[in-house]
Copies of this chain bind each other. A is one copy, B any other.
Amino acid sequence: MSEYFEKTPRSCQGCQSLSSLFSLLSKKELQLVDANKVHVNFKAGETIKKQGTFMSHVLSVNSGLAKLYIEGIEGRFAILRIVKPTSFIGGPGIYFDQRHHFTVTALIDSSVCFIDLQIFKEILRGNQAFAEEFLKDFSRDVLAVYNRLIYLTQKQMPGRMADALLYLFDEIFQQPRFPMILSRFDLADLSAMSRESAVKILRDFQKEGLIRISDHEMELVDEDALRKISRIG
């Protein structure tokens, strides 16, 4: 394990990497978080949180990128979303059973703060605005899963793959050209198909000039066409 505790723990006070959610905390509350957090660095490929384990902490991703996925049937995975810096990871376990219901794995070297769950809940109880914003965040995540459910079950493979690529564009990189941090396997898990099918669809997209894949880089060449494929399913 190459996880290690940060040698020089910064204070949460004024930390630019803390999820924006925490901007609603008072100085006192932030100090409480500070005193009950652990800051850990992960290398690409390492598991940050494992589905099924006890939820002792909630997470704030300070830097890096990670995939958040449900471990499904017989070694198959469903990626719910890609986690980008300055975002909070909680999940339905916070209030249901204090367990993690997904696994989070670093895609590139990432830095994460682990905040004590009990302290977090305590602050939620005491700070109304914070609680509302937290719930809004959580609800947005839930809606994203609704959308995922619909498009994964009601579109065919090209539409699903187009959605996956456009998701990376719209939500994660905000530019049509981005590093290929997701393997074909990951893209398959993101669009609910087999690896081989993912490869074939991507090849088709490339042949038709919709995308370009060079070493470690993906470029969405014809965004409009991809959006059309997404629309017609």
Contacts and interface: CB of A to CB of B under 8 A. Distances in A.
A78 B147 CA distance: 11
A142 interface: yes
A145 B125 CA distance: 26
Nearest to A93: B139
Given A95-B139, A96-B139, A233-B73, A101 B155 contact: no
A32 interface: no
A149 B150 contact: no
The 3 closest A-B pairs by CB, nearest first: A92-B139, A96-B139, A95-B135
A192 interface: yes
B95 A149 contact: no
A78 B143 contact: no
Interface of A: 70, 72-74, 76, 78, 92-96, 101-102, 125, 128, 132, 135-136, 138-140, 142-143, 145-146, 148-155, 192, 233
A82 to B, nearest CB: 16
Nearest to A133: B95
Given A70-B149, A125-B128, A148-B149, A154 B76 contact: yes
Contacts of A74: 233
Contacts of A92: 139-140, 142-143, 146
B73 A155 contact: yes
